[in-house]
Amino acid sequence: MSGESGQPQAGPSQTGLDFPNPERNRAGVPGGVIRRAGSHGRRSWIQKVLEQVTDSPLQWVTPSEVVPVAVLAVQRYLLEDEPRDTIPKPPLYCYDVTISDGVYQEKCYLDPSLNFLVYKNILKVGIEMKICRVSCLYNEKRLGQGILCIDNVHCGKTLETISLETPFRNSAHKEVPERPLRGGRSHYLALWNNEDPYGDIWLTNKQPEEHNFNNTKIISLSHLEMTWTNRRNFPALLVRILHKSKLRYYGKPDKKMIEPYQTFLEVADSSGTVSVIMWNALCPEWYKSLRVGLVLLLQDYSVKKSYPFRMQPLPVDPDIKLISTMEICLNLRDPPNNIIIIPEKQVKPEWRLPKLNHRFITRSELDDMPKNHICDVIGILVFVGRVQRSKKKESREDFWSYRWIHIADGTSEEPFIVELFSTSQPEIFENICPSSRSMTYFVCTQLKVVRNDTRVPKLLYLTTTNESRVFITGHRNQPYINDVKVKNFIHWIKTRTETEEVKNTVIGGYYPYPPVPENFSKYSSSIKVESLLTAISEVRKEIEDLQYREQKRIAIQGIITVIKYVPHTSATESASASETLRNANQPSTSQASRRENQSQERDNNKRHQDDDPTNSQCFQTGCTSLSPTKKKRILQGPHAKLVPVPQPETSAQTKGQESASTSTAGKAKRTITERWESQLWKEKKFGLVDHLNYSHVYPESIPRRFIFEQRKFLIEQFNSQPAKYVPPEGRPPNLEDFKSALSLGHFEVTILGLNHEIAIDVAFLPMYCPEDLRTSQIDTLLTCMNYSCVYPQADTANDTLAGSRALASDIIKAASRLDRVHIVGILDICNLGNNKVEVYLHRIYIPTTNS
């Protein structure tokens, strides 16, 4: 593996404090420390703390006055091993935190013992923070240089706005490109994953340039394959880029490499296709300038035997030879490479470079596509889920970033369901939103088909591969624009104005996909974990180990003892509230935060009240009866269809009451149950060893109707927390005022452990309960878990209210029939950051003795 030795020394870098030097001990000089502030203007708290810590013989200090500062940046990097380290450690990511006291900004090093505050997104940009202890870390290899270290903090509220006009006290902190405070690493990483290019080292200025080929010797790939082992110098290659992979970061603490990146290009000429590997510092220089379809002239490269276990993507043309015995290596220094982008107008037909052949499919064709088939899709986005993270196998500190999206193309009532991982295109991944009234269309290439037809419901979705690329603008300049299916889709778009798909687009929220199989036996064989079941006593640790936006699925055993229906609030359901969001006058973020805290307090108080056995609610409501033949349009799982709403089982007495009521009032009065509590719970709840409360559903977990005028706010709400503070435009709205995309509320479910010592409150968030003849109908509660959510079309207010109450009652009555039944509950644990954790009941199994 090629590499480069890092030039900077380990330890604090030269962007720290520069103490003390009388010649430079003044403002405006790089690294200068202002020992005594002048009498003009407000005194800097940062400056006072610096004076205290430099005068302290202990090199640490508890500030005599703790003043809140604002957090402007939280930036991550890999700290290489110090010279005294003899045993290599796993990757250790460090964080630099930029703070402002209103007079100066200062970049500080966060003590690694406080990293957990970043992992949980408690320490984040835009908040108020009190620093309770600081220290100074010196670079012993440089004269008088050190950095300010944060050793103890208290993270406070989110600030409405923060000024970015305050200058850096140390002018070295604003130099370009930005450098980390510690170690020899030359750059920062993206805050939440390693695949996205981040910072100012990533260039975009490489342009095509005409080349005189008169004195350039070209060799074909097939000829190079036959002769490379006998050559010392290699002639130039003239190739077209067919595929471009996402970035791979391979930095380790014990490897002193400046920019340890790698990316693969699949290139081809008329004789074959081969992999080109771009290493290290070439990636920041070239990665963002290279795109699929460009023609490259490669000189001064090296050739190596190919890695035997890497799977190359299929060639775009089956007639082109796939060369898998060698790899082309591009490295900045070994040898120094010469890469030229040839303008398309200079490309000659006699070069016979391959054209790009895409594999676009329509949604109507997807049902017939085999498993692992590679395809491209185009459509409009009708749902964009929130960004989530999943842990990589090899390290507890490394994560993938992904989100679920739905793409409609007009050929089917069902959308493409796509698991979209980060493709090293953060400028797109972080800004995608449902298609607006301008009907912006979305293209994603090199997707893989995931399917399982033996399960109920059938599993069918697409997922990105290492070579997937995403496009939302600039389609006119892309090579796929002439594809027949792309032209057909564009023609379909032009014939429509504001389609029903666009009117009902949805963004964000909890998204329980993919669904689990229909029985426990299939679930057991489908998952790859060391332990199939998690003891309910271990759930707390599973929750505590979860990091920001991480979502994990576990299985526990227990007994359902309480279930309570929680309808949506009027603010969420009100269409007029959504309409109000189109205006500029909106409540501030801090007001929204206060309302959210008050709402949670009310919710907790209600939960305590509900523990009273006398609070079991069962009352009459005069809602319109839903006849068995009445159909409701719902979108569930991968299927959108018209299905009957299931009816509850009613006693003869209840039927008689309903009949009498119908004859007198013209409307059926039915018993609506909104809470059920088992006798077992009444006996055991006061003697529990532990009771975990995770049934609260936060506003960001409710999918929202997308409003184009508020797209920036909505995009920010469902993206990951940014590394740098961006001031809001005006007064941001309140997320709770956006209309929910769900017609039904949620349920709070209490599961008691089999040993009757520990219980957990979880949330159940159904979309609607479809009736499907393919499934074994145990009861309504199990039925409505057979499908994962694709959000429903708009219903009338009366229809929604009646259906919601009726279905809620059906689900609660179904749960009551599980009294004292041992179940296996599949739980989704979600960490939303800032101490907000949710646990959702995704599926219930009633295991048999054979299971």
CB 517 within 8 A of CB 788: no
Percent of the chain with pLDDT over 70: 74
Enter the pTM of the model. Answer: 0.83
Nearest one of 158, 190, 165, 170 to 70, comparing CA atoms? 158
Which one has a higher pLDDT value, 81 or 55? 55
Q: What is the mean pLDDT of residues 765-780?
A: 43
With bands split at pLDDT 50, 70 and 90, how would you rate the model's confidence at 417?
very high
With bands split at pLDDT 50, 70 and 90, how would you rate the model's confidence at 396?
confident
Token representation of residue 268: 């081809």
CB 414 within 8 A of CB 640: yes
Radius of gyration of the chain (CA): 30
> What backbone phi and psi angles, to 5 degrees, belong to 502?
-70, -35
Q: Residue 128 and residue 155: Cα distance in Å, rounded?
A: 6
Nearest one of 174, 170, 173, 146 to 53, comparing CA atoms? 146
Q: Residue 557 and residue 575: Cα distance in Å, rounded?
A: 41
With bands split at pLDDT 50, 70 and 90, how would you rate the model's confidence at 800?
low
Q: What is the mean pLDDT of residues 192-220?
A: 94
Nearest one of 344, 351, 244 to 294, comparing CA atoms? 344
Residue with tokens 């600039």: 474
H-helix or E-strand containing 187?
none
Q: Residue 13 and residue 314: Cα distance in Å, rounded?
A: 46
H-state helical runs in 43-94: 45-55
Angle at 470 between CA 464 and CA 476, to 5 degrees: 145
Q: Which of 293-307, 519-533, 553-567, 612-626 has the lowest mean pLDDT?
A: 612-626
Token representation of residue 381: 């986005």
Q: Which of 136-145, 247-256, 624-633, 757-766 has the lowest mean pLDDT?
A: 624-633
Residue with tokens 């997922």: 463
Which one has a higher pLDDT value, 296 or 850? 296
- At residue 537, the pLDDT reads 96
CB 185 within 8 A of CB 78: yes
Q: For 735-753, how does the pLDDT look when each residue is reduced to its tens digit (9 = 90+)?
A: 999 998 887 789 999 999 9
Check whether 618 has a pLDDT greater than 80: no
- Identity of residue 131: I
> What backbone phi and psi angles, to 5 degrees, belong to 765?
-120, 80
Q: Residue 59 and residue 741: Cα distance in Å, rounded?
A: 55
The chain-wide mean pLDDT, for the chain, equals 79
Which one has a higher pLDDT value, 742 or 62? 62
Q: For 444-476, how does the pLDDT look when each residue is reduced to its tens digit (9 = 90+)?
A: 999 999 999 988 878 999 999 999 999 997 777
**Pair type for strands 248-249 and 105-110:** unpaired
With bands split at pLDDT 50, 70 and 90, how would you rate the model's confidence at 576?
very low
With bands split at pLDDT 50, 70 and 90, how would you rate the model's confidence at 71?
very high
Q: Residue 702 and residue 242: Cα distance in Å, rounded?
A: 40
Check whether 806 has a pLDDT greater than 50: yes
- At residue 59, the pLDDT reads 84
With bands split at pLDDT 50, 70 and 90, how would you rate the model's confidence at 504?
confident
Q: Cβ–Cβ contacts within 10 Å for residue 646, how many? A: 21
CB 255 within 8 A of CB 277: no
Q: What is the mean pLDDT of residues 533-551?
A: 95
Residue 95 exposed, middle or buried by CB count within 10 Å (0-12, 13-18, 19+): buried
Q: Residue 267 and residue 221: Cα distance in Å, rounded?
A: 10
Question: Residue 169 contacts by C-beta under 8 Å, 6 or more apart in sequence?
Answer: 34, 44, 46, 47, 50, 104, 105, 106
- At residue 41, the pLDDT reads 63
